[in-house]
Chains A and B, each alone.
Chain A
């Protein structure tokens, strides 16, 4: 039994994609930049291109960090849901295989946060 209950018990997940009005959740963590305390939670349109996501949402989210100006997205190393990932910037998030509640990790070699402290 998947829950300890007094009888048969079934439940529906509260965060199905259908509940997000055509949008989906996307989490992004910039490694070694823990000034941003946890991964960002973005609400995104599945049809948005990866390039638009990076330019419009992600770049804005990280701009308070002094390292942000030095990020070279051509050199960035990404993982998507734990797997090595090479994004197609021109394609949509959906076409990139980024589904609802996916997790991206961004690694920017050479950038190690404030005073190299991973902050």
Chain B
């Protein structure tokens, strides 16, 4: 006689495959098995209150992801076979991908490591499973991103050795140190930093600009990756909100701790996203929206509603959000001007925006672009035309916390650099803002160890004393090919040849010649 096979309902299946697989330890103390659960001061009274909004189980997860992969790789193949890279809007667009591959994709891997560790450290089975799923998602994302962009590596410069660059190139210490900070925190801070502040509050400012940017600029490979990751990202966002509510509901003592983490990770995220804002405003040949518009929609409106919702737990909006709201009119111009002058040490090209693009910027930034930033670009354009393309030959001062050069201006005066300085145990430290200075002062032992690329070069730890040696030997960039001005670069000339366009009169002093500016 055969038994009638019973089909399990979703709820039962979830229970059997997740929480029922946990057990109460009998011969080891729980505190010894999960030694990182208490030191941050977060109090969990009942892990069973953890709700997984998706009830995803491993068997369903594999099946679902495998289907998405099949479609994704079919499109990658078609893209490669059809020389899809020739159908993008303009070769300048690929510089956004260089930034993404060296700056963002390694963070996906960092997230994979972070969630693996956080999942190991929670005694609640629901949280462990959620972290495990997200860890696998992140690993999938880094792999598919690499595959999406590998085709470009055959035809464009600066995409090779991206993992090596992530660990070494000066500006990549901005995203790297962000994730190192999160991963070296306790598991609850890690979730607040990445699941909540990053995945929930700020993700739309990272993901949407890059993926819509790909769509607007004819990059089918990357936009298809975006679609393939979208349902994962939606899951991560929902989880981020659940995480924060769970922690806040567990104990009132958790509120001030979480508030400090929200303040910190909002500010760190905001500084990190200035790179994305630059990409939107300056690197996309076909613009999606301006950084200021994106900030208004995704932070001021959506974030405003979120923090209204969290008010009932005693949570207020992040400290210094007003500064970020003012900064939206300025930071992208300041960041692009920085990369423009340090382009000899980057794996992507920079350029002066065209007249049409400057017109767009002036319309999107009516109070700031013409007044403060256009004169800079006009001056550099003129210098370039005279064979003096501007490169800053002196290394910049970096912020001890965010590691961005100290380039931002005072919220109430865009003509004054914002600079903060303190002495801690006899050593001087410099910061770009009150936000970064506060973060340092809350945990100085962490940030006094910052690996600041400029100081490392000067200490002689980066292969040589002059920038060109560092760039070639330590960064693995080919001088005159991967870096410097776009106009006249090998990539620019190749693009013109593909498109059968005549070479316009390139200003002198471009390409592989570095002007001693």
Residues of A within 8 A of B396 (CB): 37-41
> A105 to nearest B CB, angstroms?
8
How many inter-chain residue pairs (CB < 8 Å) link A and B? Answer: 150
B27 beta carbon closer than 8 Å to chain A: no
Residues of B within 8 A of A37 (CB): 334, 337-338, 341, 392, 396, 405, 407
Q: Are B448 and A11 in contact (CB under 8 A)?
A: yes
Q: Are A81 and B449 in contact (CB under 8 A)?
A: no
Q: Are B459 and A10 in contact (CB under 8 A)?
A: no
Q: Are A61 and B393 in contact (CB under 8 A)?
A: yes
Q: Are B428 and A6 in contact (CB under 8 A)?
A: no
> A55 to nearest B CB, angstroms?
15
List CB contacts (< 8 Å) of B390-417 with chain A. Answer: 390, 392-398, 405-407, 409, 415-417
Q: How far is the CA of A61 from the CA of B396 in the complex (A)?
A: 11
Q: Are B455 and A32 in contact (CB under 8 A)?
A: no
A103 beta carbon closer than 8 Å to chain B: yes
Q: Are A14 and B455 in contact (CB under 8 A)?
A: yes
Among A9, A29, A35, A81, point to the contact of B379 (Cβ < 8 A): A35
Residues of A within 8 A of B185 (CB): 4
Interface string of B176-216 (1 = CB under 8 A from A): 00000000011001000000000000000000000000000
Interface string of B331-357 (1 = CB under 8 A from A): 000100110010000000000000000
B153 beta carbon closer than 8 Å to chain A: no
A110 beta carbon closer than 8 Å to chain B: no
Q: How far is the CA of A119 from the CA of B444 in the complex (A)?
A: 34
Q: How large is the interface on B (under 10, 10 to 19, 20 to 34, 35 or more residues)?
A: 35 or more
Q: Are A38 and B417 in contact (CB under 8 A)?
A: yes
Among A3, A5, A14, A100, point to the contact of B428 (Cβ < 8 A): A100
List CB contacts (< 8 Å) of B493-517 with chain A. Answer: 517
Q: Are B444 and A16 in contact (CB under 8 A)?
A: no
Q: How far is the CA of A35 from the CA of B445 in the complex (A)?
A: 34
A76 beta carbon closer than 8 Å to chain B: no
Residues of B within 8 A of A41 (CB): 394-398, 454-455, 458
On whether A27 and B397 interact (CB within 8 A), knowing A81-B428, A101-B430, the answer reads: yes
Segment touching B, from A18-26, A45-53, A89-97:
A18-26
List CB contacts (< 8 Å) of B449-496 with chain A. Answer: 449-452, 454-455, 458-460
Q: How far is the CA of A40 from the CA of B409 in the complex (A)?
A: 16
> A8 to nearest B CB, angstroms?
11
> B329 to nearest A CB, angstroms?
15
With a 10 A CB-CB cut-off, give which of A60, A64, A66 has the most chain B CB atoms.
Answer: A64
Among A5, A13, A39, point to the contact of B39 (Cβ < 8 A): A5
Residues of B within 8 A of A101 (CB): 427-430
Q: Are A117 and B376 in contact (CB under 8 A)?
A: yes
Q: Are A64 and B394 in contact (CB under 8 A)?
A: no
Among B39, B338, B390, B450, point to the contact of A64 (Cβ < 8 A): B390
Q: Are B407 and A21 in contact (CB under 8 A)?
A: no
Residues of A within 8 A of B430 (CB): 27, 101, 103
Residues of B within 8 A of A56 (CB): none
Q: Are A117 and B40 in contact (CB under 8 A)?
A: no
Among A11, A61, A103, point to the contact of B449 (Cβ < 8 A): A11
Among A21, A39, A113, point to the contact of B397 (Cβ < 8 A): A39
> B317 to nearest A CB, angstroms?
23
On whether A4 and B186 interact (CB within 8 A), knowing A9-B445, A103-B421, the answer reads: yes
A74 beta carbon closer than 8 Å to chain B: no
Q: Are B417 and A15 in contact (CB under 8 A)?
A: no
Residues of A within 8 A of B450 (CB): 14
Residues of A within 8 A of B36 (CB): 6
Residues of A within 8 A of B68 (CB): none
Residues of B within 8 A of A102 (CB): 428
Q: How far is the CA of A115 from the CA of B380 in the complex (A)?
A: 13
Q: How far is the CA of A118 from the CA of B392 in the complex (A)?
A: 17
List CB contacts (< 8 Å) of A71-110 with chain B. Answer: 81-82, 99-103
Q: How far is the CA of A118 from the CA of B415 in the complex (A)?
A: 6
On whether A39 and B375 interact (CB within 8 A), knowing A14-B455, A61-B394, the answer reads: no
Q: How far is the CA of A6 from the CA of B390 in the complex (A)?
A: 49
> B282 to nearest A CB, angstroms?
14
Residues of A within 8 A of B287 (CB): none
Look across to chain A and name the residue whose beta carbon is closest to the beta carbon of B338: A37
Residues of A within 8 A of B460 (CB): 21
Residues of A within 8 A of B388 (CB): 64
Q: Are B395 and A118 in contact (CB under 8 A)?
A: no
Q: How far is the CA of A21 from the CA of B416 in the complex (A)?
A: 33
On whether A29 and B448 interact (CB within 8 A), knowing A101-B428, A119-B372, the answer reads: no
Give 8 nearest A-B pairs by CB, closest first: A118-B415, A3-B445, A101-B428, A117-B375, A38-B405, A39-B397, A37-B338, A13-B448
Interchain Cβ contacts under 8 Å between A and B, 8 examples: A2-B444, A3-B444, A12-B449, A27-B397, A27-B430, A34-B409, A114-B375, A117-B372
User: Using a CB–CB distance below 8 Å, which chain A residues touch chain B?
Assistant: 2-6, 9-16, 19-21, 23, 25, 27, 29, 31-32, 34-43, 60-61, 64, 66, 81-82, 99-103, 113-115, 117-119
Q: 20 additional contacts, CB 8 Å, given A11-B449, A117-B376? A: A4-B443, A5-B39, A9-B445, A11-B448, A13-B425, A15-B459, A19-B459, A21-B459, A42-B394, A64-B388, A66-B379, A101-B427, A103-B419, A103-B428, A114-B375, A117-B372, A118-B415, A119-B372, A119-B376, A119-B379
